[in-house]
Homo-oligomer: A and B are copies of this chain.
Amino acid sequence: MKTIEFKDGRVVLIDQTLLPLELKYIECDSAECIAEAVENLRIRGAPAIGVAAAFGLALTALQNSRESRERILSELEKSSERLKKTRPTAVNLFWALDRVMEKARNSNNVVEAVVKESLRIYREDIDTNEKIGEYGAALIEDGDVILTHCNAGALATAGFGTALGVIRAAQQKGRKIKVFADETRPLLQGARLTAFELVQEGIPVTVITDSTAAFVMKNYGVTKIIVGADRIAANGDAANKIGTYGVAVLAKEHKIPFYVAAPLSTIDLGISSGEKIPIEFRNKKEIEFFNEKRTAASGAEILNPAFDVTPHKYITGIITEKGVLGAPFEKSIKRAFKS
């Protein structure tokens, strides 16, 4: 099972909206197809949508390979603009697009440069996740009970996963661990995707409603919390799936260490604090209806933010491919980028 891959000039990705009921792959041959998949959460997770966006540019380059250099670059610009409009919060999207576009602009063989750079981003993401897993696993003790929110697994990345990568790596080192997975309303990425991945790995996982998190922290011996991130500001404030901030506050109250696992590509040095991270608000239908059945009373307003920001004071450590960063985060983040 591969979340996303580049194969025979096409991008093949799992339609995650159908999981866990159906494991169906989509084949994209255009950036527009990728953009639609990102918008509709067929592929999601900050690192995965970074990779998908890079592949989107590779498809545009291939489609226009017989055109002039100028024409290819102009088509790439258009695709990049289109892909940037899909989702506002995860910075990996912008990071990946900017990285590929820079290579394109500075190369004589644009098509080759774009395809190569997108594949490099893909491979780097898997490498990075394995390193995150390595550093994170060192924090995990035998008998740990880990709570996670949303899905920061192989499905959220090119492979292996960030938060779930840490859990996976710890399991591979022989640590006996149990996981509580918040179901993660409204789109249930925890119940559908995180539980699916962990069951496949043979790691014991218990799904709970999001509002049961406090109950299990108090009564079921949760020892660590690990989540992913969609964008981290230069001061360590971390945007992640709506509900993460609440989990962090609960962790503090229960004196449970709270870790964010994310690659450096998720850190946005251009943003000094979490207050400046743009938060995506999604369609109210995600809350108003389930499976086409109305679940909220007609006439009520709905507020559906997709993310929230956890201030750095609630974060014990940020697990990156350069090690576990601790407070003061501004310094440790700077150091990680320089190393």
Q: Which residues of A contact B (CB under 8 A)?
A: 19-21, 149, 180-186, 188, 191-193, 195-196, 198-199, 204-216, 218, 220, 242-243, 245-247, 249-250, 252-253, 287-288, 290-291, 293-305, 308
Contact = CB atoms under 8 A, between A and B. Distances in A.
Contacts of A299: 195, 199
Q: How many copies does the complex hold?
A: 2
Given A210-B210, A290-B290, A20 B298 contact: yes
A45 to B, nearest CB: 17
A300 B182 contact: no
Nearest to A301: B206
Contacts of A206: 300-303
Nearest to A218: B245
Given A211-B184, A245-B218, A246-B211, A192 B295 contact: yes
Contacts of A180: 303
A250 B244 CA distance: 12
B184 A287 contact: no
Main secondary structure of the interface of A (DSSP, over half): mixed
A204 B209 CA distance: 26
A247 B212 CA distance: 11
A211, A242, A252: most-surrounded residue (chain B CB, <10 A):
A211
A258 to B, nearest CB: 13
A193 B300 CA distance: 11
Given A185-B209, A250-B250, A252-B253, 16 more contacts: A19-B297, A20-B296, A20-B298, A181-B300, A182-B211, A183-B295, A188-B295, A191-B295, A192-B297, A199-B300, A207-B301, A208-B287, A210-B211, A211-B243, A214-B243, A215-B308
